[in-house]
């Protein structure tokens, strides 16, 4: 990316604008986010992604007195799926909405301070609804990605654009839906679009200016780059080895989108990004493991070099994206990472070197593999569970259909889990469903769907699809579960008050006992909750907030499941709660 004199002058103006502000979000504040009760500065309530709050005012004894403090509507007709996690800083809430909107709201009153609505072109191609999962804060900026693959940095006080950068070509299928990550002074972002044959990557930028620092592709064979202060690019090493795990040419449009963003652990100094499905879905067209798709990749933040990777679904044939968040935690004196993968297995991995420590199912039915070999780290495939080769089917049009579980929407999808260092349990929003899936011939066309598969999703049980589960990462046991009729699609938060908060598509925000799963409180928000809650303290008062608005991938892709929940109403609002003073 070449920089000219105008870009240099803009950078100087940006620095001047920052000097005029008395205070802003610092690297030290972000590093301490998980322990600081007065702010929520990161997606994940801390860069490690544990979503654990040390606050105790709202606890198992008092949560029954939780009442609404205020509610804020996103307004307009653009309701669709609302998956955003709010951020809290300097008396303001920053929350994104569907269709690439962002709002600043007065934290105490719910009064709108400003709104920025990104002008989207007609040709955007988001795979899984027009969602946005949140923003990042740095200095006096709030930064978020858009559905036409741009990064926008706004002044926190005014909502005015400070810088804007095009990440990639939306006409080729690229988009952005994840919250950016601030790690060691850099802005780290991924891309969406695996269903269109994009090439997933992670980029690091200067958060003050948007200038690129490095770029690392997530598909083997593509070149990484680093950038000097003038924007000049130099090669930073090929990702993997060309054609080693991708015979032929399909690696050139190989997928591996980094569409959920990443986490960062300051003790390992590594950023962890999950990667999506290889493209196309038809696995018979692309022999090999297809690195680094369906993986967790640990990156050196300063250089963009891959320190280690672990592939959860080698040679994926079911769209089992490996993007699920890698949450670091301490176990037996070691820094580990937990990952509830879309493929139905929960992985416990050494956060420093990527060595697999444990892997076990967290859903009841898995048909594609019988287990994970703890010595090799590889799945024990059930070959009859892979959809058939179209070239061997009737007239070469369709391969043999198989029933596969979990369904491609995953045992867990975008909805982030939580970890409590008090109970030493993970709280995982799981789904029990399966699918009929078959492969079809397909060829790449820029901007076209690149699947080579057909599918229909089915519920597995009459009484429930979703299940909130407390999981012991050491033993693999499900300690308790709370079943839910509709699929769970919102994230989780846990607190030192002994609580687990999560939302349901039926519209409820719920609080349950972290040790037992007993329901202690619930509130009807008026639309489905498909976003993660947060909590913070202002003065003497603890607040809880969640975004409400039904949508996301389920009503678009859910087959029979979508029909089951078509009574749910769309919406777009933020609800904030506190304890009643009565």
Q: Check which CATH number belongs to the domain holding 210 and give it.
A: 2.140.10.10
Residue 330 annotated as catalytic: no
353 — phi, psi (to 5°)?
-125, -5
Query: Helix (H, G, I), strand (E, B), or coil: what is residue 390?
Result: helix
Q: Where does 286-378 show beta strands of DSSP type E?
A: 295-300, 306-311, 327-331, 334-340, 345-350, 356-361, 369-372
What pLDDT sits at residue 3?
A: 42
> Quick one: which of 363, 211, 216 has its CA closest to 295?
216
- CB–CB of 56/496 below 8 Å? yes
Alpha helices in 475-546 (DSSP H): none
Distance of CA 18 to the CA centre of its chain: 30
Neighbours of 147 (CB within 10 A): 24
Q: Tokens for 277, please give them.
A: 């499905």
Decide: pTM greater than 0.75: yes
Distance CA 384, CA 198 (A): 29
The secondary structure element, H or E, covering residue 31 is helix 27-31
> Quick one: which of 209, 98, 138, 240 has its CA closest to 570?
98
Distance CA 91, CA 78 (A): 27
Q: Tokens for 325, please give them.
A: 């968040």
What range does the domain containing 34 cover?
A: 5-579
DSSP-assigned letter for residue 487: P
- CB–CB of 579/64 below 8 Å? no
Number of domains the chain is built from: 1
Query: Helix (H, G, I), strand (E, B), or coil: what is residue 371?
Result: strand
Residue 434 neighbours by CB under 8 Å, 6+ apart: 365, 367, 403, 404, 405, 406, 407, 457, 458, 460
**Regions of the chain short of the pLDDT cut 50:** 1-22
Residue 56 neighbours by CB under 8 Å, 6+ apart: 495, 496, 497
What pLDDT sits at residue 396?
A: 65
Options 148, 168, 316, 319, the catalytic residue: 319
371 — phi, psi (to 5°)?
165, -175
Q: Are strands 534-538 and 141-145 parallel, antiparallel or unpaired?
A: unpaired
What pLDDT sits at residue 9?
A: 39
């Amino acid at each position: 990316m070449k920089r000219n004199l105008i870009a240099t002058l803009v950078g100087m103006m940006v620095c001047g604008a920052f000097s005029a502000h008395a205070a802003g979000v610092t690297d030290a504040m972000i590093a301490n986010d998980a322990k600081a009760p007065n702010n929520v500065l990161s997606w994940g309530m801390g860069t490690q992604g544990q979503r654990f709050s040390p606050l105790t005012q709202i606890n198992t004894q008092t949560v029954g007195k939780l009442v609404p403090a205020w509610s804020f509507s996103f307004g307009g007709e653009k309701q669709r799926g609302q998956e955003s996690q709010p951020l809290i800083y300097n008396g303001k809430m920053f929350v994104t909405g569907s269709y690439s909107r962002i709002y600043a709201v007065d934290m105490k009153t719910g009064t709108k301070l400003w709104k920025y609505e990104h002008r989207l072109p007609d040709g955007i191609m988001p795979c899984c609804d027009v969602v946005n999962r949140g923003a990042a804060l740095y200095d006096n900026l709030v930064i978020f990605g858009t559905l036409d693959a741009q990064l926008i940095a706004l002044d926190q006080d005014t909502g005015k654009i400070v810088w804007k950068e095009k990440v990639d070509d939306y006409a080729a299928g690229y988009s952005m839906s994840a919250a950016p990550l601030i790690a060691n002074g850099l802005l780290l972002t991924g891309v969406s679009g695996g269903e269109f044959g994009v090439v997933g990557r992670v980029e690091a930028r200067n958060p003050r200016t948007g200038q690129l620092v490095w770029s690392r592709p997530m598909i083997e064979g593509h070149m990484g780059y680093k950038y000097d202060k003038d924007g000049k690019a130099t090669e930073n090493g090929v990702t993997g080895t060309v054609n080693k795990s991708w015979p032929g040419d399909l690696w050139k449009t190989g997928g591996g989108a980094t569409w959920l963003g990443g986490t960062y652990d300051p003790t390992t100094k590594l950023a962890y990004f999950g990667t999506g499905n290889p493209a196309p879905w038809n696995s018979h067209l692309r022999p090999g493991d297809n690195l680094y798709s369906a993986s967790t990749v640990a990156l050196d933040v300063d250089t963009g070099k891959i320190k280690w990777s672990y592939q959860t679904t080698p040679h994926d044939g079911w769209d089992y994206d490996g993007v699920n968040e890698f949450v670091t935690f301490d176990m037996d004196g070691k820094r580990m990472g937990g990952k509830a993968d879309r493929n139905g297995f929960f992985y416990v991995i050494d956060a420093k070197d990527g060595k697999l420590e444990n892997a076990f199912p967290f859903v009841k039915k898995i048909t594609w593999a019988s287990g994970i070999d703890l010595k090799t780290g590889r799945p024990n495939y059930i070959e009859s569970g892979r959809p058939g080769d179209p070239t061997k089917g009737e007239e070469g049009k369709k391969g043999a259909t198989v029933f596969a579980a979990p369904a491609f929407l995953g045992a867990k999808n975008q909805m982030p889990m939580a970890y409590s260092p008090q109970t030493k349990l993970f709280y995982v929003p799981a789904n029990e469903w399966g699918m009929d899936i078959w492969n079809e011939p397909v060829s790449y066309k820029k901007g076209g769907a690149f699947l080579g598969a057909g599918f229909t999703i089915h519920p597995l049980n009459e009484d429930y699809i979703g299940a909130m589960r407390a999981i012991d990462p050491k033993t693999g046991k499900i300690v308790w579960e709370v079943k839910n009729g509709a699929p769970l699609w919102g994230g989780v938060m846990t607190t030192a008050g002994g609580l687990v908060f999560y939302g349901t598509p039926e519209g409820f925000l719920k609080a349950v006992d972290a040790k037992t799963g007993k329901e202690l409180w619930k509130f009807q928000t008026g639309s489905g909750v498909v976003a993660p809650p947060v909590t913070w303290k202002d003065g003497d008062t603890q607040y809880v907030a969640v975004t409400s608005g039904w949508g996301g991938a389920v009503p678009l892709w859910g087959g029979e499941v979508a029909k089951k929940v078509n009574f749910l109403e769309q919406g777009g609002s933020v609800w904030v709660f506190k304890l009643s003073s009565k």
